Amino acid sequence: MADAEQELERRSKFLNSLIQKKKSNEQQQHHQLLNVKVRASDMPIALQNKAFQCARDLLDSMPTKKLDSKRLALAIKKEFDSAYGPAWHCIVGTSFGSYVTHSLGGFLYFSIDKVYVLLFRTAVEPLQQR
């Protein structure tokens, strides 16, 4: 009986690894279509994909394909504030440095074309009355 359980566990792990590999390959193909490279992330895949698609759509809609980093940052921030609650911050540019503190599961740094996007969330705490 123990051998059968071990074999079942081994097969289950093998199938899970195949599923994860397929998901990873699909995600990489999606990133290639959007021309996205994830530089660092602590964010669920669904939110990452939302950020990638939002950035791609906005970049494609810009007239004369000239980067308006302020407009792009504002649009991504507003999209995430309305969809996932307040306190999202977005920095967009072709060259910048940063060091930020973020909420758990709320950090994404990626490039799309030659544009870099830093998107992160901070905790919002009410001010204490004195």
- SS3 annotation, 3-40: HHHHHHHHHHHHHHHHHHHHHHHHHHHHHHHHCEEEEE
Question: Which H or E element spans position 78?
Answer: helix 69-84
**CATH number of the CATH domain containing 90:** 3.30.740.10
pTM of the shown model: 0.74
Is 99 in contact with 119 (CB distance < 8 Å)? no
Instruction: Give the structural domain span for 6.
Output: 1-34
The mean-pLDDT minimum among 24-28, 36-40, 69-73, 100-104 falls in: 24-28
10-62 per-position pLDDT tens digit: 877 877 766 666 666 555 655 567 789 999 999 999 999 999 999 999 998 88
106 with 86: CB under 8 angstroms? Answer: no
What is the C-alpha separation between 67 and 23, in angstroms, rounded? 32
If asked whether residues 10 and 54 sit together in one domain, one would say: no
Q: What is the largest CA-CA distance in the chain?
A: 68
- Whether residues 47 and 110 share a domain: the answer is yes
Looking at the fold, whether 101 and 127 belong to one and the same domain comes out as yes
Question: Looking at the structure, do residues 59 and 84 belong to the same domain, yes or no?
Answer: yes
Q: 75 and 23: one domain? A: no
**Is the confidence at residue 129, as pLDDT, over 80?**
no
- 66 in the same domain as 29: no
- On the CB side of 46, CA atoms within 13 Å amount to 2
Does position 92 have pLDDT exceeding 80, yes or no? yes
If asked whether residues 63 and 113 sit together in one domain, one would say yes
Please tell me whether residues 54 and 5 are part of one structural domain.
no
CB 55 within 8 A of CB 109: no
Residues 105 and 125 in one domain: yes
Structural domains counted in the chain: 2
